Amino acid sequence: MIYQLFVCLAAFFLSGALAFRPPQVLPRHAAQLTRCQGASDDAQDFISKTYPSAFSLLSRNNDAMKAINKSESGFTVFAPNKKAFESLGEKKGGQLKDVRNEEVTEKIAAYHVIAEPVTDKVLFNSGGVITLGGEVPCERSTSGGMFGIGGKEDGGVTLNGSKVVKSTKFSEGDKICIVHEVDGLISPNIVWRYADQLRIPGSK
SS3 sequence of 106-159 = HHHHHCCEECCCCCHHHHHHCCEEECCCCEEEEEEEEECCECCECCEEEEEEEE
Q: What are phi and psi of 132, to 5 degrees?
A: -65, -25
pTM over 0.85: no
User: Which of 98, 120, 90, 104 has the alpha carbon at shortest distance from 182?
Assistant: 120
Q: Which CATH number is 102's domain given? A: 2.30.180.10
Q: Report yes or no on 15 lying in a domain.
A: no
Instruction: Tell me the average pLDDT of the chain.
Output: 82
What's the number of domains the chain is made of? 1
In a domain, 121, yes or no: yes
User: In 10 A of CB 67, how many CB atoms?
Assistant: 22
Q: What is the pLDDT of residues 14-72, one digit of tens each?
A: 444 434 333 333 232 222 333 345 788 999 999 999 999 999 999 999 999 999 998 88
Residue 111 lies in a domain: yes
Distance between CA atoms of 71 and 64, rounded to whole angstroms? 10
